Amino acid sequence: MTDTLNPRSWLYPTPRGLYCEPGGFYVDPAVAVDRAVITHGHGDHARPGHRNALATPETLAIMRARFQGMPDTTQQPLKYGESVKAGDVDVSLVPAGHILGSAQAVLEYRGQRIVVSGDYKRRPDATCPPFEPVPCDVFITEATFALPVFHHPCDASEIGQLLRSLETFPERTHLVGVYALGKCQRVIKLLRAAGYDKRIWIHGALASLCKLYQEHGVDLGDIALASDAILETFKGAIVLCPPSAIADRWSRRFFDPIPSMASGWMGVRARARQRGAELPLIISDHADWSELTQTLTDVGAPRVWVTHGREEALVAHARSIGIEAEALHLAGREEEDET
């Protein structure tokens, strides 16, 4: 480790995204570039049109599913734990626990190690391997839920609320808004873990990614397209759909549905109301406040760059425990996004 080397000299934000100069690549760039390292398949990290893309095989599969097969991108799969040289930089990918295929990009250059964690969480998720803390000199962390008000309750108790509501309102369709990639499959797995073995209905927009998860060995049990059934079927059923579909005409096919939403934002009442959720489920694929602060301790980095959300509080906290912290403003990340 050379203290003389300024990390900002070899990895820095540009309008196109976070650029690693001696490696000649961007990490999760906001626009199409020549060489990109992609942490995971969510739209604000994985964009179409790169000439070369390095990512886990699962992430590349997700990108192909989303971007019409990506015929014009040279794809470089890198399994968890394996390492590759890009220019003068060693690149390896380590599980981030966020969604299928999600990884932290570990970059090493002249004895200095920077970890770009992408998005991550610390609690168990049956659809991907758990986050592995990697000791480093600089840790770049997300801050989506970086306020002490975010302490996500345990997943099982949130799923329990959904099942209890089904008991109280056995004739109503429970329409759960979920992001198509990650949240959808995780909610299904959580329901299965809670012993719910009935058919789970899904909106057409969720189908292809569910299929991809199944092909990667994630057993989702009995799922079927909601469009294939008659109305009567949905009495007391669970139907998963993209959040936008709840307010859409699509949802009118269900009789007196209960609009629900599975998201970390549901922990704050005004936000849940804003989204029209009558049964908010606090299920997040992002680290909450305690997970974020725990992770800073676990990786032990003397420097932390905070991106992607509410940087202010996490920077303040990191400084209060003696970490040199600063906000890193990256292009292409929507503050309120949860993907």
Partner 1 sequence: MQAFAALLDSLSFQPARNAKLRLIETYLRQAPDPDRGWALAALTGGLDFPAAKPALLRSFGEEKIGAELFHLSYDYVGDLAETLALVWETRPDAGPPPSLSEVVETLQRATKMQTPAILRRWLDTLDSTGRWALLKLLTGALRVGVSARLAKQAAANIGDQPVGEVEEVWHGLSPPYRPLFDWLLNGGPKPSSNMGGAFLPPMLANAIERAELDALDPAHFRAEWKWDGIRVQVAASGGVKRLYSRAGEDISKAFPDVVDAIDFEGVFDGELLVRREDAVAPFNDLQQRLNRKAVTPKMLKEHPAHVRLYDALWLEGEDLRALSFDERRARLEAWMARTPRPRFDLSPLVPFTDWVHLARLREEMRSDGIEGLMLKRADSTYLAGRPKGPWFKWKRDPMLADCVLMYAQRGHGKRSSFYSDFTFGCWRQTADGKRELAPVGKAYFGFTDEELRWLDKWVRDRTTNRFGPVREVEPKLVLEIAFDGIARSTRHKSGVAMRFPRINRIRTDKPADEADTVDNLLRFVP
Q: With the CA atoms of 272, 273, 279 and 283 taken in that order, what torsion angle do they form, in degrees rounded to the nearest 10?
A: 0
Among 280, 292, 295, 306, binds partner 1 (CB under 8 A): 280
339 is an interface residue for Zn ion by CB under 5 A: yes
One symbol per residue from 205 to 244: x for binding partner 1 (CB under 8 A), - otherwise; what is it?
Answer: ----------------------------------------
Can you state the angle between helices 183-193 and 207-215, rounded to 10 degrees? 60
CB of 59 to Zn ion, least distance (A): 11
260 is an interface residue for Zn ion by CB under 5 A: no
47 is an interface residue for Zn ion by CB under 5 A: no
For Zn ion, how many residues bind (rule: CB under 5 A)?
4
Q: 84 vs 316, which CB is nearer to partner 1? A: 316
| Nearest-angstrom CA–CA distance, 145 and 138 | 20
Burial letters 106-131, b for 16+ CB under 10 A, else e: bbbbeebbbbbbbbbbbeebebbeeb
Token readout for 11 is 């990895």
Q: 44 vs 90, which CB is nearer to Zn ion? A: 44
Neighbours of 337 (CB within 10 A): 14
Q: Which of residues 300-319 bind partner 1 (CB under 8 A)?
A: 310, 312-313, 316-317
- What phi and psi, each to the nearest 5 degrees, are found at residue 280? -75, 135
Provide the CA 218 distance to its chain's centre, in angstroms. 17
65 is an interface residue for partner 1 by CB under 8 A: no
Q: Which of partner 1, Zn ion, none is residue 279 near (CB under 5 to 8 Å by kind)?
A: partner 1
39 is an interface residue for Zn ion by CB under 5 A: no
Contacts of 212 (CB under 8 A, 6+ apart): 61, 62, 65, 100
CB of 18 to Zn ion, least distance (A): 13
| Nearest-angstrom CA–CA distance, 311 and 298 | 19
> In what side-by-side order are the strands of the sheet with 103-109?
83-86, 89-95, 103-109, 112-116, 138-143, 303-309, 324-327
Q: Which of partner 1, Zn ion, none is residue 42 near (CB under 5 to 8 Å by kind)?
A: Zn ion
Q: Which of Zn ion, partner 1, none is residue 119 near (CB under 5 to 8 Å by kind)?
A: Zn ion
Q: Which of residues 131-150 bind partner 1 (CB under 8 A)?
A: 147-150
CB of 120 to partner 1, least distance (A): 21
Among 23, 36, 42, 131, binds Zn ion (CB under 5 A): 42
CB of 258 to partner 1, least distance (A): 8
Neighbours of 319 (CB within 10 A): 13
Q: Which of Zn ion, partner 1, none is residue 147 near (CB under 5 to 8 Å by kind)?
A: partner 1
Q: Which 3 state secondary structure label does DSSP give 295?
A: helix
| Nearest-angstrom CA–CA distance, 264 and 121 | 11
DSSP assigned state of 152: P
166 is an interface residue for partner 1 by CB under 8 A: no
Q: Which of residues 83-142 bind Zn ion (CB under 5 A)?
A: 119
CB of 271 to partner 1, least distance (A): 9
| Nearest-angstrom CA–CA distance, 309 and 336 | 7
Neighbours of 53 (CB within 10 A): 25
Residues of this chain that interact with Zn ion (CB under 5 A) are 42, 44, 119, 339
Residues of this chain that interact with partner 1 (CB under 8 A) are 147-151, 153, 161, 165, 168-169, 252, 258, 267-270, 272-274, 277-280, 290, 310, 312-313, 316-317, 320
